[in-house]
Amino acid sequence: MAVGQCDFPDMPGVAGITLGTACAGIKQAIKDDILVIQMAEQSTCAAVFTRNAFCAAPVHVAKANLAHKPRWLLINSGNANAGTGEQGMKDALLTCAELAKIAGGADNQALPFSTGVIGQLLPVEKITAALPEAMKNLSPDNWDKAARAIMTTDTFPKGVSKTIVLSGQSITINGISKGAGMIQPDMATMLGFIATDAKINQALLQNCLASAVEQSFNRITVDGDTSTNDACVIMASGCSAAPEITAHSEHYAIFADALAGVCKQLAEAIIRDGEGATKLMRIVVKEALHNEEAVRVGKTIAHSPLVKTAFFASDPNWGRILAAVGRSGIENMALENVQIFLDDVCIVRNGGCADDYTEEAGQQVMNREEITITVKLGRGKASQEVLTCDLSYDYVKINAEYRT
């Protein structure tokens, strides 16, 4: 079940980008489970990847091939091709080679991405057999199909589209993502694919993506687990009539802000679809010494099973939040300066329960689907937001039965 309204938006085509899906029958034979994205020849491409030391074979291959002017992305769901050793690397390379053979390009111009069960060998024959159909189905309008093909335990497809105008010419930015569990990106199981028709060089595009991801996907957590397969990719086809985006320009600032907005919306959609989630929790940490400190406090609260289960029960057990702030590793914290709020209700002040707090007021907030926890540290001017969800019975059930 998802928190809030999560309809897939109308997404226009992005000039120079086409998408095709097919059913390879990797884990099931009902829905499409492979996606091919083709970029115009002049496109630039940038990506960020998981920092998990056991990163999957496709992550290694995609990192290496990113330097060779990629033309195609190949994504499969149902199998992560992680923890598969040397054979996993061979399998990832083989699928790229087969795609390149069909498409008429070089093997190293394909970037592979996989999501699903860890530790099982990739069913290469099934994937390669389905590639011709996916290539035949290439279309600029297949964003909905693409978002569905990459889903695993997701309950809804996630997409965002945004249009900006530069020098009187429009630029489109479309993005899709998947993820509901094993979410704690560290650049959740998270994949994101973004396309734009902007003209921008690869180095600048890489900087722009890294900044956007830091503000969005790196500020969400469902369960504190960083996947072996996390990746976020942006493709810029250069097909817009708008002028090329250059560093330190007004156009760059507008584009960077729009890209960050797309990533933030996709990241929030992942939290709304957190496995078994019934509540969305915004944790806003203010008055920190620096951003890193604010994020540390926010994630300590977000990763607390005691906090998350209290929110599932709609129990205003504010002591659990106070305890999480206290163990977040902040040195020389002046407890009398710390204030904690549930929405607009102050629950902690002057080192203990706020004098004017009532259980009834706390309960009224906790009954809501979306709740903001605000922590004022009284130490500085930095502020950061972390998104998370509650921890329910269904989360345990989904992950206990993941392979059955």
Let me know if 189 is a catalytic residue: yes
**DSSP labels for 67-83?**
TS---EEEEEEEE---S
From edge to edge, which strands make up the β-sheet containing 339-342? 352-353, 345-349, 339-342, 370-376, 280-288, 382-389
Residue count of the chain, please give it: 404
Q: Tell me the sheet residues that pair with 288.
A: 382
Greatest Cα pair distance, the chain, in angstroms, is 71
Per residue in 33-60, is it b (16+ CB within 10 Å) or e — as a string? bbbbbbbbeebbbbbbbbebeebbbbbb
152, 189, 226, 278: the catalytic one is 189
Strands 280-288 and 382-389, sheet pairing = antiparallel
- What six digits make up the tokens of 334? 């002046």
**173 vs 187: CA distance, rounded Å:** 21
Segments in 118-240 forming alpha helices (H): 124-136, 143-149, 202-215
Nearest to 96, CA basis, from 76, 117, 79, 73: 73
Nearest to 35, CA basis, from 46, 43, 27, 24: 24
Q: Which residues have a catalytic role annotated?
A: 189
